[in-house]
Structure 1
């Protein structure tokens, strides 16, 4: 396990069946790089082989941010194939498909890919200081790790367009009112644990089947279009800088 990702089981005393994954790059607002994403993917695969784990919490270290998205230094070098095989898309889709209930415990800003990470969870609980945005268009890119697919299902198409096309940022109260998060408040950590514990107490097979039924992909081609769009933009931006 990478030092940039901490896995704790149980998440806290009295919560024996709940695992916690913590993004541990507070100096970088918990922005993810390739090493962190690979560690997260390995952890998700490991959790599939641990039947004692019945729920997962994901959080960010420190108080500044849940996750600021992709590391900007790596973005500069991405090309066409990187967009097609975007690692964050693979990891977040694996998280969304995990046969466990998952809760994002959002301690601060969830920006870009950080919000896409939270969207891949089954529920989101946030602190009153949390901020949410998908600023990719300001970087000449698009949200390509599931944001285009998952955000409209949560908040509706019109509101998703406000956030993506018009770069609207939401504070914690707005996010709660929109249905982006299920609860916001100073008690967000205890609430996130309570939500995870409630789901962990249910029959694992019934819960797994219910999650699969709820997550049936109604737009199977959307993931491929998401990948191709980002691939074109990565290549265009790389050529701009290097020609």
Structure 2
């Protein structure tokens, strides 16, 4: 049995107070499967339980991709219940709900669930080569791990519809001008660390309350609809495969 880890955990910044979680599956464009998600979930829980951790950065290995979303091999095997109880949704929602500052340092393509992972962070910075898309509709699915809930509040309904319904892919410059990422290009990795350390230096209780106030109640209602839609589509697609 392989002992390979798919999430590298690193302590960086002043006094090692920033925990960097690096998706480490570059040969598959950092696509996530069940093992990677389980490791990411455990790393998030460890960071939350460790009082010395003041902020989290999520990034990917290599220059090709931040995360290309769900592994296509696993995607083909999913049925209705998998869509309703989608593990990536649970992990990304736990990331979004952390009381700690979280920064997505996007080193390449953030596609499908990879973009939804980035959206679960408090702020995003990216390389000049990054690109962003939610191609689920072209696969007969819908974004189901937070994209439909979080993207409109970030960039507006019309632009979110352009990405989700009309399958537009954004380059880094457009993503910044639309408000999807705060900054792009240059030494984006250093900027991600600077942002994490700035937020880490704030009063923890004030930061946590501010984050809670920014969360929209509507997102909780949408989460139920998101899971139902994906469950129906997974079930339909599985039936088509078997018939």
Q: SS of the counterpart of 1:221? A: helix
The TM-score with structure 1 as length reference comes to: 0.97
Are the equivalent residues in 1 in contact too, given 2:9–2:22 (CA < 8 A)?
yes
CA distance in 1, matches of 2:219, 2:134: 21
- How far has the Cα of 1:146 moved from its partner? 0.2
CA distance, structure 1, for counterparts of residue 35 and residue 8 of structure 2: 13
For 1:3, the equivalent position in structure 2 comes to 5
Q: Where does residue 178 of structure 1 map in the other structure?
A: 178
Q: Are 2:136 and 1:136 aligned?
A: yes
Task: Give me the whole-angstrom Cα distance separating, in 1, the residues matched to 2:219 and 2:95.
Answer: 18
Task: Please tell me the root mean square deviation across aligned C-alpha atoms, in Å.
Answer: 1.2
Say which is worse superposed, 121-130 or 200-209, in terms of deviation.
200-209
Deviation at residue 216 of structure 1 after TM alignment: 3.9
Deviates more, 1:148-157 or 1:208-217: 208-217
Matches of 2:219 and 2:92, distance apart in 1: 17
State the TM-score, normalized to the length of structure 2: 0.97
Displacement of 1:124 in angstroms is 0.2
Q: Secondary structure at the match of 1:35?
A: helix
- Does residue 31 in structure 1 map to residue 31 in structure 2? yes
Q: Which runs of 5+ in 1 are unaligned?
A: none
| TM superposition shift of 1:90 | 0.1
User: Residues 143-165 of structure 1, C-alpha deviation per residue, up to 9 Å, x if partnerless?
Assistant: 00000000000000000000010
Return the offset for 1:17: 1.1
* Secondary structure of 1:124's aligned partner: strand
Q: How many residues align?
A: 241
8 Å contact from structure 1 (residues 2, 35) kept in 2 = no
Are the aligned partners of 1:103 and 1:192 in contact in 2 as well (CA < 8 Å)? yes
The runs of 5 or more residues in structure 2 that have no matched partner are none
**What's the offset of the Cα at 1:239?**
0.8
